[in-house]
Amino acid sequence: MASVQAKEWLKSAYSDLRSIKYIINDEFLTHVVAFHSQQAVEKTLKAILENENHQVPKVHKLQNLINRVNIDIIINERILATLDELYIESRYPGDMGLLPQGKPTLTDAKEFYEFAQTLFNHVSTMLDVSE
């Protein structure tokens, strides 16, 4: 059974995933899909840490978080690394969700979303949390 704090992290990740559903096919918003995907993965990993009573670090680097959790799912390291590139400390809207080569493609965005959704589903099941 998940802790209250873990459920809150998952609820926040779920909000990101639900937001993506409305924009997933909009080629103009692929960078927003990418950004919300990164956020959903980050929050899902933090839910695991919270549930294991670990201090949740104030970091956004997914690789740092994945190295701290116990999870029995194969992680696509390429997607994880790409999503890590997306998080920019900057609050400037032009930088949000951009990769070094620019805006993600629609195919990229869908791949990021699938990755985030799969991880979220796995962790929700692992922590016995339903919608």
DSSP string, 7-52: HHHHHHHHHHHHHHHHHTT-GGGHHHHHHHHHHHHHHHHHHHHHHT
Tell me the average pLDDT across 81-101. Answer: 66
Tens digit of each residue's pLDDT (9 = 90 or more) over 25-64: 999 999 899 999 999 999 999 999 999 888 888 888 899 9
Taking residue 55's Cβ as centre, other Cβ atoms within 10 Å add up to: 8
pTM for the whole structure:
0.90
Residues 6+ apart with CB under 8 A from 51: 2, 3, 5, 6, 127
Is residue 7 within 8 A of residue 51, CB to CB? The reply is no
Q: How confident is the model at residue 85 (pLDDT cuts 50, 70, 90)?
A: confident
CB 116 within 8 A of CB 44: yes
Do residues 32 and 23 make contact, with C-beta atoms less than 8 angstroms apart? yes
Q: What is the pLDDT of residue 95?
A: 58
Domains along the sequence of the chain with CATH: 4-126 (1.20.120.330)
> What whole-number distance in Å separates Cα of residue 82 and Cα of residue 78?
6
What per-residue confidence (pLDDT) applies to 25?
A: 97
Q: Is the pLDDT of residue 115 over 60?
A: yes
The confidence band for 100, taking pLDDT boundaries of 50, 70 and 90, is low
